[in-house]
Structure 1
Amino acid sequence: MRYFFVLLCIVLGLTAYRAGVVLTNGLPLYVDEAQYWFWAQNLAWGYYSKPPMIAAVIAATTAVCGDAEPCVRAGSLIFYPLSTFILFFLTRRLFDEKTAFIAGLIFITLPAVGLSSLLISTDVLLFFFWTLALFAFVRVLNSAAWLDWILLGVALGLGLLTKYTMGIFFLSAAVYLLLSGRWQVFISLRAWVAVLIAAVIFSPNGWWNWQHDFPTVQHTAEISHLEQAGLHWRSLAEFFGGQFGVFGLVFFPVLLSLFLRFQRLQQLPQAGLLLSFSLPFLLIISLQALLGTANANWAAPSYVAATVLVAAGLVRWQQQRLLILGLMVNIALFMGLYHYQSLAHGLGVELTAKNDLYKRMRGWDEIGQQYLALQANYPQALPLAEERSVMSELTYYARPAGLNIVSWNPEHQLRHHYDLVTSLTGRVGQEFLFVSTGRLPAEMADYFEATEQVGELRAAIYADYQLVYPVYRLQNFKGLNPQ
């Protein structure tokens, strides 16, 4: 276990360093993180845009250490190391301890893992459950033990409660079983028990979606933009370019070379298994990018098997220099992201809206305090907003009493989670403070007896970038059918 002990020390040291960065960088929560925190205050089996696992994890971490930003993000510092250790044991089972050690090193230093370690996102948990499911799958291929099948079913079910793209695991497994001639697995009782376990674990989210007219499915379709006609080559190119940032400027070309040099790839044991659990996912999201749009991180789980594949190839063909170069480039990338502001200052580069990678996260803590000061003048007023970003950030940084923020949605649209869980119904006579992104909509005055601008929330981030939100006092709501 010498290799595992060395990996353990490296991962724990790197995690402690990342924890230090999270504790000291002072970055406010990004809009998605603030929204996930809001979800965690009202645990349910589903939410407008995601299944419930991310909210459950945030609820657990904040229950331990409070609601400060580092506690909201603590899940990343827990689950990425766990994913690395599972990947080590998976790779050791397929190859040897040296390859497993290298796979663990590559994974924990991936640019995507490095950046995501400072935030909390569904990718953190999806990586974990995908890796755990692949580990269990490899075990059942060799042992067929009941416990391994049960572990596979649990990992798949929890993965589906994290992100629906976990479903691609079933496709990858089917591809491998077909190509390897393991037909008997398709009629195995134990395999179907694992599928049943996954279905039972996932079923509460399915029931939640049924009760709410499948908002998560609707949202997934909307962000994919598959309704757009034609082929979107620019979108595909952007997605493809983004994979260099996800897997690394060195390791992604190495992976592509392995895909393209198929005859050489066949020399690697377990190449078929690793291809089945990396290439289909990457191709599916690439097709989605071509037909609509796809973010670079949407194919992230493909890099679990891809990491093992690259590690095995580098060991097999003794490419130590390439390995060291890839690790150094990846470490330099995520360290540059961690200390972006300090590096810019040291190099004499003035941060602006054009070059600050974190600009969309800045200023919301200040905006929240300004809103609280304004709210004190109108204690009976409820916060009202229309934009998801405003509602998410205000809910976290202003913490209105009972988190009682209301979405302005007189036409009963379903645009975000706040439309789903808040309502203007039954609020006749209510006073609101409307936090707007600009002028008060002209039609809004018809719903209230009086409207007036009472303030402005403003955070000057840079000379060329600031947050500005006018605040309007809306008195005596007339109801959804004003006369």
Structure 2
Amino acid sequence: MLEKISFEKKFILVLIIYFLFWMVIPPVFSSSFPLDVPEGIYWGKEFQLGYYKHPPFSSWILYSFYAVFGVFGPYILSQICISLTIFFVYLLGKNIVSKEKAFYSGVFVLSIFYYTWPSIEFNHNVAQMPIWAGLIYVFYLALKKNTWSAWLIFGVVTGIGMLTKYSVAILVFAIVLFSLLTSYRRLWLTAKPWVAVVVALALFSPHVWWLYQHDWLTFTYIQSRSHEDGGGVNHLAAFKYLASQIVNCLPLLLILLCNKSLSFKFRNIKIDDRNFLFFIGIFPGLFLFLLGLVSGANIRDMWASPMWSLVGLILVAMIPENIFQNHKKGLAKGLVIWLFIISVLMACYIQFGGQLRHKPSRMDWPQQELSLKAEQEWKQISHCQLDNIGGDNWLAILVATKMNQMPSVMMDTSAAYSPWMNLQRLEQKGSFMLWEKDQKPILPYVSDLEKNDQLVIYHGEWQITWAKVPNKQPLIIQWQAFVPKSCIQPKE
């Protein structure tokens, strides 16, 4: 049966299987979410116009997928983001190279490490990936066709991008700079780009208003984190960042080298398209390097993860047509081998990684058991619905996101981080707080709750074994519950 299917269809079938594998295996093999996922879910549940770490759009979408697809939702969403990135690169490629080369340019996104393993953990970096690729594509259309629809879509995508993560501003900066440095600068003398700017600002302005109302919370958080990280100024750290970006592109380079298809000469590509690809595809990543080199700031490798989607298109565009036609099957096979290797490694890491390291990863935590214990404890002492959870941030968000009726989460350290919570709500609804033994965090409002004679305080402790790391000392959790007297469960 398979013998009758063309090579191209087999290749597409492999890609479909790959995406399904990455949607299913992580939630099946893991016992908890990776770090950023429950955080994004509980943010989205509150549906704010901003959060203390990031703008809101990514969390809104993540919570929606979780509400519809349950534990599979975050992983489905991640692979949709990767698929959309491939699609937008393909659409752009069709305008620059042949349709066949454009297809390979798109799927070669998967040969860049950032678009594989890190996609397990849906976060703002993964959410940015289709936005970067889509924004580049619609900007290209806006330059070439200069239609109202292209510019309006450009404005919409820009606004959504800035609502996803502020680093999209780097791409916007690159786009504006490219247009000003080329003959396309004349477009800024017309109304269309400026209308796009207005559209983008209109979409982004509610978040700016939220920032103003919350004392620019996101930026004060970023500033406080930079002080906590310490390390001082280190200009040479930028080279570590640069080396990391090269390593992330190594699978693509190795596939091209092994197939004798690596070339550095453009053929049959217009000079302005060539300039567009190099500038928009390379400048943002190099800009971060230069920023770190000049300022000495600690530029994190993952910040560049959405910035390299055009690398495959650039390198495929440079392959001479005769070499491409002779080696395209080899290129596809090389990509399949890479996807097989990285998929097996991912599955083994999730299933056996904790045992090999003798240390549980974030995906090895007993999330289901923790949530059940919290629900059972609360039901034993209160007949009211559990309204909120606090305590250690990781434990609180882990427990909350697995409950049938997800409670709100109150973060530790600062009351400003959970603006949906306040003392009045806690006094009326009570709270359930938990942390690892002898590691009780500083919790907002607790001193006031402890003095409130309308609340009854309960304490307890759990001991939970690590399913995937049985030799590790059991996890010991301490909890404290504040129950309004009107909610106290009557004794039988």
**Candidates 265, 274, 279, aligned match of 2:277:** 274
**Candidates 36, 59, 70, aligned match of 2:40:** 36
- Residue 462 of structure 2 aligns with which residue? 456
Contact 1:76–1:118 (CA under 8 A) maintained in structure 2: yes
- Residue 54 of structure 1 aligns with which residue? 58
**Candidates 106, 110, 117, aligned match of 1:108:** 110
Contact 1:160–1:166 (CA under 8 A) maintained in structure 2: yes
- Residue 388 of structure 1 aligns with which residue? 393
Distance 1:474 1:189, change over 3 A: closer
Distance 1:154 1:9, change over 3 A: farther
Q: 1:62 Cα shift?
A: 3.7
Distance 1:455 1:240, change over 3 A: same
How is 1:61-72 mapped onto 2 (pairs within 5 angstroms)?
61-65=65-69, 68-72=70-74
CA distance in 2, matches of 1:231, 1:6: 49
Q: 1:164 Cα shift?
A: 1.1
Instruction: Report the TM-score when normalising by structure 2.
Output: 0.78
One-letter amino acid of the structure 1 residue matched with residue 279 of structure 2: S
Distance 1:253 1:338, change over 3 A: closer
- Residue 165 of structure 2 aligns with which residue? 163
The more displaced of 21-30 and 37-46 is 21-30
Distance 1:195 1:119, change over 3 A: same
- Residue 481 of structure 1 aligns with which residue? none
- Residue 134 of structure 1 aligns with which residue? 136
One-letter amino acid of the structure 1 residue matched with residue 476 of structure 2: V
**Candidates 286, 289, 292, aligned match of 2:289:** 286
Root-mean-square deviation (CA, aligned residues, Å) is: 3.9
- Residue 422 of structure 1 aligns with which residue? 421
Is there any run of 5+ residues in structure 1 with no aligned partner, and where? 256-260, 478-483
CA distance in 2, matches of 1:140, 1:34: 38
- Residue 258 of structure 1 aligns with which residue? none
**Candidates 16, 21, 33, aligned match of 1:17:** 21
What's the secondary structure of 2:476's corresponding residue? Answer: strand
Identical-pair percentage? 16
- Residue 240 of structure 1 aligns with which residue? 242
CA distance in 2, matches of 1:246, 1:299: 10
Distance 1:441 1:60, change over 3 A: closer
- Residue 195 of structure 2 aligns with which residue? 193
Contact 2:459–2:478 (CA under 8 A) maintained in structure 1: yes
Q: 1:323 Cα shift?
A: 4.4
CA distance in 2, matches of 1:200, 1:297: 29
- Residue 378 of structure 1 aligns with which residue? 381
Q: 1:337 Cα shift?
A: 3.3
Matched, 1:119 2:121: yes
What's the secondary structure of 2:211's corresponding residue? Answer: helix
**Candidates 471, 476, 479, aligned match of 1:468:** 476
Contact 2:281–2:310 (CA under 8 A) maintained in structure 1: yes
- Residue 338 of structure 2 aligns with which residue? 330
Distance 1:361 1:441, change over 3 A: closer
How is 1:173-184 mapped onto 2 (pairs within 5 angstroms)?
173-184=175-186
Q: 1:366 Cα shift?
A: 2.5
Instruction: Report the TM-score when normalising by structure 1.
Output: 0.80
What's the secondary structure of 1:164's corresponding residue? Answer: coil
- Residue 209 of structure 1 aligns with which residue? 211
Contact 1:111–1:331 (CA under 8 A) maintained in structure 2: no
**Candidates 364, 367, 378, aligned match of 2:367:** 364
Q: 1:154 Cα shift?
A: 1.3
Q: 1:224 Cα shift?
A: 5.2
Corresponding residue pairs, total? 456
1:62-85 residue CA offsets vs partner (Å, 9 max, x unmatched): 4533xx210233212323222212
Distance 1:268 1:126, change over 3 A: same
1:106-131 residue CA offsets vs partner (Å, 9 max, x unmatched): 11343322224433222333111221
CA distance in 1, matches of 2:251, 2:177: 29
One-letter amino acid of the structure 1 residue matched with residue 308 of structure 2: Y
1:129-181 residue CA offsets vs partner (Å, 9 max, x unmatched): 22111111111222111111111111111111111111112221133223433
1:424-466 residue CA offsets vs partner (Å, 9 max, x unmatched): 3564598654312342579977963697752135342522465
Q: 1:371 Cα shift?
A: 2.4
CA distance in 2, matches of 1:328, 1:245: 19
How is 1:341-352 mapped onto 2 (pairs within 5 angstroms)?
341=349, 350-352=355-357
Contact 2:18–2:339 (CA under 8 A) maintained in structure 1: no
Distance 1:413 1:177, change over 3 A: same
